Chains A and B, each alone.
Chain A
Amino acid sequence: MLDVTRIRADFPILTREVRPGVPLVYLDSTATSQKPLAVIQAMDEFYRHSNANIHRGIHVLAEEATAQYEAARQKVAKFIGAASPRQVIFTRNTTEAINLVAYTWGRANLHAGEIIVLTEMEHHSNLVPWQILAAERDVRLEFIPVGDDGLLDLQAYQKLLELGPRLVSFTHMSNVLGTITPAARIIQMAHQAGAVTLVDGAQSVPHFMVDVQALDADFLAFSGHKMCGPTGIGVLYGRKELLEVMPPFMGGGEMIRKVHLRSFVPNELPHKFEAGTPAIAEAVGLGEAVDYLTSTGMDAIAAHEREIVAYTLERLEEIPGVLVYGPTAEHRGGVAAFTLAGVHPHDISQILDSQGIAIRAGHHCAMPLHEKYNLPATARASFYLYNTFQEVDKLAEAIYKVKEIFGS
């Protein structure tokens, strides 16, 4: 059991009032999580005490900064069960990590007529990079359908695998429906068909234990800012054999071993993919976030979110006119996207905001999924380790208030 009262005390922002007398109820952690004091302090301390550029300076500060940056990489590697920290590449975010694979592995390996399999519930970040590649290389995109139950149709997936795709790239947890996908099974099926796999872990890594070796994932992409870390830092994990033969992504300093006027020799992993000065303080902050999540316990966090979301479904579904999208609580992470008959989600969000409740309204960077369900937009409440059952009650009460204003 999580001691949520103690956890809330770790997050300075949760004590603020949105306006006088109106405390913050933050239900938008799927967009970005709040940050514990330990993370804020680790970055502050880095800038006050150890700030320097990394890897080449021969002075105390450079050595400290390098050690802290690389220690963060080791923490992340351990957190996701990677065999080696060399398989952990720091990027800006999930989007950049997926683009890295599309631009390097994709362009080195995919040819006209070949197939990439995605799902119908991908975030735009795991859709548009492949659309760009598809247009450039005449590659075909196929999609695993999502049923009305919010679950992937694995029989249709099996049929798609018979087409011999080169890559299967899929979300581990939908940022709209909250569906947790059977990643190990999807990967195993892909491997049997000879396909490489990429897991979009933007919503999974922050919320439950993800072990790349247990999953047998070839690539895993995720962001620091959704897991109590800062913005500007994300991760690409890759299988060593794949990363080693992939061409570099961006060219510049740090990614090279040797440079001549007309040629260069790329650096080793992971530096080959980290051109230019990286987000050093942010990496340090991410390392601290990993420590925070680990000491809190990922299984306890996942269990807490399961209970909160089950309670949310119960409270929302009892409100006349409310429709919640996605699967039953057992297949769902801490996300509840919903609509209220007669009221646009933006209006719901605005009225909730007046009561201090932060939710998200729109298509949540998943327009094709909304098209499929024929919805212009949904309202979305999402949860993390610091959310309480009382906050869910406030959400439900506020939706009744929306109904009152709109007379619906």
Chain B
Amino acid sequence: MDDLYRELIIDRYKNPLYRGELEPHDISFEDENPLCGDFIRIDLRLDEEGQVKEAAFSGHGCAISQASADLLIESVQGKNLDEIKALTKEDVLEMLGLELGPVRLKCALLSLKVLKAGAYGLGEASDELVD
């Protein structure tokens, strides 16, 4: 368990590097995990080639949800939308260095779900995005 709360997670939870909102932005999407009330909004700014120039997240929730959002945002710098669409659950778990049960998986994957729904320009986020 205490692995779950490794220094990286606690540190990124308490001192996130990419917390904020971007106004204006090219892409913005938000969603919540109704089970636990975790909430994530992600804003992206793209350059002329369609690559992520700036990215930020905002919201509230548990250490796992917020730390994974911060790590995910870090990882998308310079990526284009196709690369973002190709991100998977495994990518996020690798960043976190964690194995998670089904309940906490939802916390960890909320930010990816929001990011991909935004990249696809969907009206609504779906769990299928992160299966």
Whether A407 pairs with B60 at a CB distance below 8 angstroms is no
What is the CA–CA distance of A347 and B5 in the complex, to the nearest angstrom?
9
> Total A-B residue pairs with C-beta atoms closer than 8 Å?
54
Residues of A243-295 at the interface with B, using a CB-CB cut-off of 8 Å, are none
A351 neighbours in B (Cβ, 8 Å): 1, 5
Whether B2 pairs with A354 at a CB distance below 8 angstroms is yes
Whether A377 pairs with B37 at a CB distance below 8 angstroms is yes
Whether A350 pairs with B104 at a CB distance below 8 angstroms is yes
Q: Separation in Å of the A36 CB from the closest CB of chain B?
A: 28
Q: Tell whether A353 pairs with B1 under 8 Å between CB atoms, given A344-B62, A344-B63, A346-B62.
A: yes
Q: Tell whether A350 pairs with B4 under 8 Å between CB atoms, given A344-B62, A376-B61.
A: yes
Number of interface residues, chain B, beta carbon within 8 A: 19
A406 within 8 A of B: yes
9 contacts between A and B (CB under 8 A): A343-B63, A344-B38, A344-B63, A346-B104, A353-B1, A362-B37, A376-B61, A405-B2, A406-B14
What is the CA–CA distance of A109 and B10 in the complex, to the nearest angstrom?
55
One digit per residue, 1 when the CB lies within 8 angstroms of any chain A CB and 0 when it does not, for chain B 1-41 equals: 11011000010001000000000000000000001111100
Whether B10 pairs with A407 at a CB distance below 8 angstroms is yes
B44 within 8 A of A: no
Q: Separation in Å of the A10 CB from the closest CB of chain B?
A: 30
Q: Tell whether A376 pairs with B37 under 8 Å between CB atoms, given A346-B104, A347-B62, A406-B10.
A: yes
Look across to chain A and name the residue whose beta carbon is closest to the beta carbon of B36.
Answer: A362
Whether A377 pairs with B64 at a CB distance below 8 angstroms is no
Q: Which of B10, B61, B62, B107 has the most CB of A within 10 A?
A: B62
Q: Tell whether A350 pairs with B1 under 8 Å between CB atoms, given A370-B37, A406-B10.
A: yes
Look across to chain B and name the residue whose beta carbon is closest to the beta carbon of A401.
Answer: B2
Q: Tell whether A354 pairs with B62 under 8 Å between CB atoms, given A346-B104, A346-B107.
A: no
A332 within 8 A of B: no
What is the CA–CA distance of A405 and B4 in the complex, to the nearest angstrom?
11
B65 neighbours in A (Cβ, 8 Å): 344
Look across to chain A and name the residue whose beta carbon is closest to the beta carbon of B66.
Answer: A344
One digit per residue, 1 when the CB lies within 8 angstroms of any chain B CB and 0 when it does not, for chain A 340-379 equals: 0011111100110110000001110001001000001100
What is the CA–CA distance of A345 and B37 in the complex, to the nearest angstrom?
10
B1 neighbours in A (Cβ, 8 Å): 350-351, 353-354
B38 neighbours in A (Cβ, 8 Å): 344, 346, 376
A406 neighbours in B (Cβ, 8 Å): 5, 10, 14, 63
Q: Separation in Å of the A354 CB from the closest CB of chain B?
A: 3
Q: Which of A346, A361, A363 has the most CB of B within 10 A?
A: A346
Q: Tell whether A376 pairs with B60 under 8 Å between CB atoms, given A346-B36, A405-B2.
A: yes
What is the CA–CA distance of A377 and B35 in the complex, to the nearest angstrom?
10
A350 neighbours in B (Cβ, 8 Å): 1, 4-5, 104
What is the CA–CA distance of A376 and B61 in the complex, to the nearest angstrom?
8
B5 neighbours in A (Cβ, 8 Å): 347, 350-351, 405-406
7 A-B pairs besides A346-B64, A354-B1 with CB distance below 8 A are: A344-B63, A345-B62, A376-B39, A377-B36, A377-B37, A405-B5, A406-B10
What is the CA–CA distance of A57 and B22 in the complex, to the nearest angstrom?
70
Look across to chain A and name the residue whose beta carbon is closest to the beta carbon of B9.
Answer: A347
